[in-house]
Amino acid sequence: MCFSNKTKLFLLLLISLLCISSFDHAYHASITNIELDTEERLAKISVQLFTDDLYTLFEKRFGTSPNKLANLSSTETLLLKEYLKDKIQLSTNRKPTAITYLGLEEDQNFTTLYLEGKIVKNTERIEIKNSILTAIFPDQINTIHVTLNNVTKSVHLTTTKLKGLLFFNSEKE
């Protein structure tokens, strides 16, 4: 059987779209980026995770099934805010940072959550707790990248290691 180049291209695109639309992943992970802005004394936080994992959180933890994450009800938004407040914590120079949920962006496969919090002046020590999804997925890995003054340091957190400690501009590096 011989196919034209246009037919081959169409079939390749069709197969690719089918693969993307039925996206399934064999592991559970999130990537958290924390940009520490010392001038504004602000931690700008983004958490990227698999969209289907977030839907699983709503089903298993909250007993709800939102149609679209971008259109959460006020109750679902409140549940998510409280969950994130408990699961993602940050302290700078041993002072806890109150983290505020700003919103989210939902893609087909990934969702990004946006948060922020005030940090202390002259931040050198950052302690991070990220236990998001660890109670639901025992294999959950949360990778955290913290950037301060153009220096980025990272830590991997799991169900057995929920907190990480990073030092910037210090002898403890």
- The whole-number pLDDT of residue 115 equals 97
Compute CA 130 distance to the chain's CA centroid, rounded to the nearest angstrom.
Answer: 9
**pLDDT value of position 15:** 54
Mean pLDDT of the chain: 86
Residue 79 CB partners (closer than 8 Å, separation 6+): 58, 61, 62, 64
**For 44-69, how does the pLDDT look when each residue is reduced to its tens digit (9 = 90+)?**
999 999 999 999 999 999 998 888 88
What is d(CA 151, CA 132) in angstroms, rounded to the nearest whole number? 25
Q: HSE (CB half, 13 Å, CA atoms) of 112?
A: 9
Parts of the chain with a pLDDT under 50: 14, 17-22, 173
**Are 91 and 43 within 8 A, CB to CB?**
no
- Angle CA(115)–CA(120)–CA(122) in degrees, nearest 5? 125
DSSP 99-110: EEEEEEEE-SSE
Name the residue type at position 14.
L
| Structure confidence at residue 60 (pLDDT) | 93
In the chain, how many H helices and how many E strands? 3, 10
